[in-house]
Structure 1
Amino acid sequence: MADRREAREAWDALRPVGFLHGLDEAHEKATLTVFDGLDRSAGFKERSFGYTAYDVLESQLDRVFGLGDGPRPAGPVVRDDLNGSPGWRCGRFRVLLKRHEFGSVRSIRWDRGSATKQAVARQPFRDDAQLALDLPGVPRDTPGVVTLVLAHSATQEPLERELFLGRPRHNADGGPAWYWIEPLTTAALGPDPRRKLVEPTLPLWNDDEADVPVRLLRPTSIETA
């Protein structure tokens, strides 16, 4: 079984700063945008949804993290592409995108993917002895950076989303597609740290409270000597 220390390290580093919640937010917005804009009855096929979902998710991620043309990043996330493949980095973890067939995230064949994705799947992993091979035309990854993959998918009817973050494994041997993989669901992510609750300031008085009853006292006579 693969060492899951890296999965915990990534989760502990990325969740508290809202990076994982940002991934989920961008995927939800992208999914709704694509399904609102493309109609199968108008002739759009699965390939159209696939390309569009990938492009729109890229744009939404830039918006969520305050990146792209013009704005300067306001948080810990920077744009960090790899060999032309869109990427976002937070700390030492970079994330690339991979769309998969709904329900088949664990059946991805990385050895049949692009040269960049194959190189990412060949990254050295401390619990695996396979070598990181140099592929023609693909630069070696940035020293000290671990590249993960955000696997995304969705269905229109019924509307369902799948979103996973994991470390891909070059599975030409027919073995597992991931060293580790974690679902990014509402239950798994918990409260969004980017939206901290602000305690309301209580007024010194409240007009809704009932007035304190006041009773008038009759003056008493004072006897004099």
Structure 2
Amino acid sequence: MEAEEVWDFLHETGFLHALHQAHEEATLAVLGALSRNAGFKERSYGTSSFDVFESRLDRVFHIGEDPAPGDPLRGQVVRDDLNGSPGWRLGKYRVLLKRHRFGEVHVLRWDRDSPTKQDVARQTYTENPQMAFDFGDSFPLPPEASEVVTLVAAHSAAEAPLELELFVGRPRFNSDGGEAWWWVRKITPEALGPDPRKSTFPEQQPLWADPAEDVPVLLRDHKVAGQRQHTLSESGQ
């Protein structure tokens, strides 16, 4: 199924790990900078978290800079915006961002979203052949979009206690009030496991070799040593 294929591809390359890293960093930065006591409201958090998340993604994907050595994403992820909506593409998969209210990812209404998100939700889905693009008065996707699968990374966070929500999936145009997603997967540290971007290198050997064997060193228990010293003191030694 598509969900498994997409997850496996983006997971093995480290794309999902980078997505999670950027979301965590952006959330901590925003919550650390904006205080509700100072007058910031939900709208302030929403706008800031989206902007900072975008910047952090450019950073972890090394957009416009030389990537770190050993990173399997090296030069593989490109910025691929859609009608002004920030996007990042690896292979044929492009990911756009969507902020949602915490806990409400499954009740999103794409038919009430931006024209771009509506078009994305109308993409032809091979596991539901009757679906097709129907742009109407909305902005048409570019011709090359037929070769690209556009997904959405839905993100949110709760301030107290701090909780993060991050999902990736294919949105469903739910003007019928039905399901918001054809499929959606939650991105958590437990689901991700080890980060493939963190390459391990063999320990570098010294440029010279010392044939002499090391002098054996015995570690002494401080408590035992103290007791022995106390015994010697009582015996007058």
TM bucket, shorter chain? 0.7 to 0.9
The residue aligned with 2:134 is 133
Task: Give the counterpart of 1:151 among 150, 154, 177.
Answer: 154
Q: CA deviation at 1:174?
A: 1.3
- Is the CA contact 1:115–1:135 (under 8 Å) kept in the aligned structure 2? no
Q: Within 2, Cα distance between the matches of 1:152 and 1:25?
A: 12
Can you give the 5+ residue segments of structure 1 that lack an aligned partner in the other structure?
A: 212-225
Change (3 A) 1:125 1:32: same
Deviations for 1:99-145, whole angstroms, at most 9, x for unmatched residues?
A: 00101100101011000000000000012212211243513251210
Change (3 A) 1:45 1:75: same
1:29 aligns with 2:31: no
Report runs of 4+ in structure 1 exceeding 6 Å deviation: 202-206
- Is the CA contact 1:119–1:135 (under 8 Å) kept in the aligned structure 2? no
The residue aligned with 1:214 is none
Q: Within 2, Cα distance between the matches of 1:75 and 1:187?
A: 27
Q: Within 1, Cα distance between the matches of 2:194 and 2:78?
A: 23
Superposition pairs of residues 53-132 of structure 1, within 5 angstroms? 53-68=49-64, 71=65, 74-128=74-128, 129-132=130-133
- Is the CA contact 2:119–2:138 (under 8 Å) kept in the aligned structure 1? no
Can you give the 5+ residue segments of structure 2 that lack an aligned partner in the other structure?
A: 68-73, 219-237
User: Identical aligned pairs, as a percentage?
Assistant: 55
The alignment partner of 2:5 has SS state of helix
Task: Give the counterpart of 1:198 among 180, 196, 201.
Answer: 201
The residue aligned with 1:18 is 14
Q: CA deviation at 1:6?
A: 0.9
The alignment partner of 1:194 has SS state of coil
Q: Which amino acid aligns with 1:32?
A: L
Q: CA deviation at 1:8?
A: 1.1
- TM-score normalised per structure 1: 0.85
Change (3 A) 1:175 1:209: farther
The alignment partner of 1:15 has SS state of helix
- TM-score normalised per structure 2: 0.81
Q: CA deviation at 1:200?
A: 2.6
Q: CA deviation at 1:14?
A: 1.1
Task: Give the counterpart of 1:179 among 166, 177, 182.
Answer: 182
The alignment partner of 2:84 has SS state of coil
- Is the CA contact 2:17–2:195 (under 8 Å) kept in the aligned structure 1? yes
Segment of structure 1 superposing worse, 192-201 or 111-120: 192-201
How many residue pairs were aligned? 205
The residue aligned with 2:229 is none
